[in-house]
Amino acid sequence: MSKKVFNIGILGTGWIADKMAKTLAKMTSARAYAVASRTLDKAEKFASEFSIPKFYGSYDLLADDPEVDLIYIGTPHSHHFEQAKMCLLKNKPVLCEKAFTVNTPQAEELIKISHERKVFLAEAIWTRYQPMRQMISKVINSGIIGKPVMLSANLCYPNIAQERMYKPELAGGALLDLGVYVLNFADMFFGSDIKETSSHCIKYHTGIDAQESITLEYSDGRIAVLSSSLIAKSDRQGIISGTDGFVIVENVNNPQSYSVYNQDYNLVEKVQCPPQITGYEYQVDCCINAISQGRIEPLEMPHEDILRIMRQMDSLRKTWGVKLSDSDPF
């Protein structure tokens, strides 16, 4: 029997929607079946560009389409909550871009609805679903660098001129757009037993966080030093340092390789990322697997992990006085 091809509905027609459409075009397990925009013309143009069979001039109409198996939300952070809620209330499975929501109360409400209605809900934080995650974990746990004790990660793109980045009402700022990746990097490889967090933030004139540094101290004495910025360009490296060597991950935004160095700074091993379509295919496949198995959350990024990262981000924004929504819990 041939396997079902999942019909993906793309909500939004911006930068990431374009990447998702290009990804789906090369997948065999899923296809871009429909797209929705606030404007019918935009939806039609997008559909024609990517040969998508259906297009809608409203997000609601996309969620009403009985043929849609999973809705991918690719809109500004400020809108994730209301759009994901609308889809879930129509019993539509959702894969929502990072940052999942503006704050924890919004994330909690979506997760509650997902559990009550038994409808699938996931965050599109692509690095969690990629094979490189397991490959990096394996090399760290192999003992080759000794005991891992220090981690650093940075992600900086000078994108502050974009409306979505500098506007508080679109839930802009470096943390929700980029910091979320370095927090996830630390969480994936150093876990969540954090004793203390300290941080510094430089604000933009609009009130959003332009750049920040975050230090996490773990109960067992490990430390993670993280930075993200919307005004700088950086090397995007993640480095896990152990007592006997270190691992350098190229691009924490979509790991392309890892290199292992020994005590003498000699390269022991360099491993490239397996071939990708774009790297976005893995999150789609993980959602398909979960839904096919009757789960309402993916194993790779369970709801509990979404909430843990959201709480970290709320707490950091509270420290900095960066308010993005009336529903912020501070």
Ligand X SMILES: NC(=O)c1ccc[n+]([C@@H]2O[C@H](COP(=O)([O-])OP(=O)(O)OC[C@H]3O[C@@H](n4cnc5c(N)ncnc54)[C@H](OP(=O)(O)O)[C@@H]3O)[C@@H](O)[C@H]2O)c1
Residue closer to ligand X, measured from CB, 46 or 246: 46
Residue closer to ligand X, measured from CB, 16 or 182: 16
Rounded CA-CA distance 287/18 in Å is 19
Residue closer to ligand X, measured from CB, 27 or 140: 27
Show Cβ contacts of residue 190 under 8 Å, excluding neighbours closer than 6 positions: 148, 151, 216, 218, 222, 224
Residue closer to ligand X, measured from CB, 146 or 207: 207
- Measured from the CB of residue 262, what is the shortest distance to ligand X in angstroms? 33
> What is the pairing mode between strands 148-156 and 223-229?
parallel
- Measured from the CB of residue 118, what is the shortest distance to ligand X in angstroms? 25
Residue closer to ligand X, measured from CB, 4 or 26: 26
Which among 157, 178, 147, 128 has a CA at the least distance from the CA of 247?
147
Which residues lie across from 152 on neighbouring strands? Answer: 225, 239
- Measured from the CB of residue 207, what is the shortest distance to ligand X in angstroms? 18
Residue closer to ligand X, measured from CB, 85 or 164: 164
Give residues in contact with ligand X (CB under 6 A): 12-16, 37-39, 42, 74-77, 79, 97-98, 126, 164, 170, 177
Residue closer to ligand X, measured from CB, 177 or 300: 177
* φ and ψ of 99, to 5 deg: -60, 140
Q: What angle do CA 13, 18, 20 make, to 5 degrees?
A: 110
- Is the omega angle on the peptide bond into residue 47 within 30 degrees of 0, that is, cis? no
Whether 154 and 226 have beta carbons less than 8 Å apart is answered as yes
Minimal CB distance to ligand X: which residue?
14
- Measured from the CB of residue 131, what is the shortest distance to ligand X in angstroms? 16
- Measured from the CB of residue 17, what is the shortest distance to ligand X in angstroms? 6
- Measured from the CB of residue 91, what is the shortest distance to ligand X in angstroms? 22
- Measured from the CB of residue 97, what is the shortest distance to ligand X in angstroms? 4
Show Cβ contacts of residue 133 under 8 Å, excluding neighbours closer than 6 positions: 127, 188, 255, 300
In a 3-state reduction of DSSP, which class is residue 17?
helix
Rounded CA-CA distance 101/20 in Å is 19
Whether 16 and 97 have beta carbons less than 8 Å apart is answered as yes
